[in-house]
Amino acid sequence: MRRLAIAAALLAVAAPLAAQDRAQDAIRIGITYRPGTRPGLVVLPGSGADSARAIVKRDLDYSDRFQMIETGTSAAGGPVNYEYYRTQFAADHAVEIVSASGGVVVRLHDLAARRVRNQQTFPLPAPEAAGFRMAVHRISDEVTRWADGTPGYAASRLIYLSGDRIHRVDNDGADDTAVTPGGEKALSSAWAPDGRRIAYTRFSAGRGSIAIRDLSAGSAETVHGTDADLNFSPAFSPDGRTLAFARAEESGATNIFTSNVASRCCLQRLTVRGFADNLSPTYSPDGRRIAYVSSRAGPPQIYVMSADGTDQEVLASFDYGATGPSFAPEWSPDGASVVFHREVSRSPQIFILDVASGRVKQLTSVGRNEDATWAPDGRHVAFISDRTGRRQVWIVDTETGRVRQLNTAGAARLPSWSRLLGG
């Protein structure tokens, strides 16, 4: 919670996000890439711990908090020459990684103050062991916190739909694996807050139940109340006890329900309107509200309600007949924003709503961009884009606008980002 509070405060202060663009003229791209404003960081060359150093270096680059500086020189050993890195490379921070027995010692040097600001010994499994990369990612997140005061997102994974199966991939593109069995057609999926389970639709001949799959045990269980009709777009409550989802009913209407997954009971209907479709629920991080898509006014738009279904109202304002239909909201980890996609000239683009002010900001404009999901740092967003010809996962830093592609096995759909994953 403290991390979230810090992130929220930073977002509120830093937000050039919220600064521009009223809802109706938010076609412009509101952010620009400003490399000069970030502190310079150099990962010191060294001997040993090469694979850990390479991973940390890339993670810190992907964090978008630092101007990464390449010195091009090889290991010298001995004490760090603060003056050299400060004057020759305009670096503010230097990260030193040295091998220690059973792991590495990591030091963050403050070059201006000429001192070690943080130092910690991290145990690491052998580089070829299964947990090695994730253990190094957690080091990267710790260094990010030392240097920037914000949580990173290196120790996280995404799930996405590839063909008929849900895949899981590290946020840097490593270890892409199918986690649902072949012969089963999966659709939308969501992480449980514990990072050990996922919920997803098992689609079968026009109907579908929602299953919760334990990723390490490989077992799956059907969620109570989802074995009739077509159930989809699952979302866990932040405490992991409740699953909200949409059900397309025989009457033709789609409505949002919750099921208590902790005690496997108690199907509850949250939306009741028979003449509108209500779907794609997403909980606020305090668990008290649910943003969702509703077609109650005609074209689908983003609404919000209390977690018990009361107090339904428009969340992302729109001009009837002018604003394109809007879909797939996801509440940010800090609670301040909701990301969603909205059609602009019949092409979906990613938007971010600032919940407090009600302002929206368009993040993308190249190609079709849809189904966004927040990184655990509340600053990066992954989404599906066809900008290179086929649907792939892309990641954008919402503060600088820097974009990178996540390499996935095949065409990708419906991504969902985990929280930070523990050891």
In the bound state with another protein, the residue whose beta carbon lies nearer, of 357 and 388, is 388
In the bound state with another protein, the residue whose beta carbon lies nearer, of 146 and 203, is 203
DSSP states of 382-421: EEEE-TTSS-EEEEEETTT--EEEEP-SS--EEEEE--PP
In the bound state with another protein, the residue whose beta carbon lies nearer, of 6 and 366, is 366
Identify the residue whose tokens are 């689908």.
300
In this structure, what DSSP letter does residue 422 have?
P
Cα 277 to chain centroid, rounded: 26
In the bound state with another protein, the residue whose beta carbon lies nearer, of 52 and 414, is 414
The β-bridge partners of 384 are 370, 393
Helix ranges, 23-161 (H): 50-62, 82-89, 132-148
In the bound state with another protein, the residue whose beta carbon lies nearer, of 86 and 387, is 387
In the bound state with another protein, the residue whose beta carbon lies nearer, of 67 and 294, is 294
Q: Count of CB atoms within 10 A of residue 228's CB?
A: 11
Least distance (Å) between residue 418 CB and another protein: 20
Least distance (Å) between residue 187 CB and another protein: 7
In the bound state with another protein, the residue whose beta carbon lies nearer, of 26 and 256, is 256
In the bound state with another protein, the residue whose beta carbon lies nearer, of 156 and 189, is 189
Q: Taking a C-beta distance cutoff of 8 angstroms, is the pair 140, 154 a contact?
A: yes
Cα 396 to chain centroid, rounded: 10
Q: Taking a C-beta distance cutoff of 8 angstroms, is the pair 162, 179 a contact?
A: no
Q: Which amino acid is at 168?
A: R
Least distance (Å) between residue 76 CB and another protein: 54
Least distance (Å) between residue 283 CB and another protein: 16
Least distance (Å) between residue 280 CB and another protein: 5
Least distance (Å) between residue 181 CB and another protein: 18
DSSP states of 362-386: E---SS-EEEEEE-TTSSEEEEEE-
Least distance (Å) between residue 198 CB and another protein: 16
Least distance (Å) between residue 50 CB and another protein: 42
In the bound state with another protein, the residue whose beta carbon lies nearer, of 293 and 395, is 293
Residues contacting 164, CB < 8 A, separation 6+: 182, 184, 185, 186
Strand 67-68 with 360-362, pairing = unpaired
Integer Cα distance of 215 and 192 in angstroms: 11
Q: Taking a C-beta distance cutoff of 8 angstroms, is the pair 329, 280 a contact?
A: yes
- Binding site residues, another protein, CB under 8 A: 185, 187-188, 203, 205-207, 230, 232-233, 246, 248-254, 277, 279-280, 293, 295, 299-300, 325, 327-328, 341, 343, 346, 348, 370-371, 413-414
Least distance (Å) between residue 261 CB and another protein: 20
**CA dist 118 → 41, 56, 63, 195 (Å):** 14, 16, 19, 28
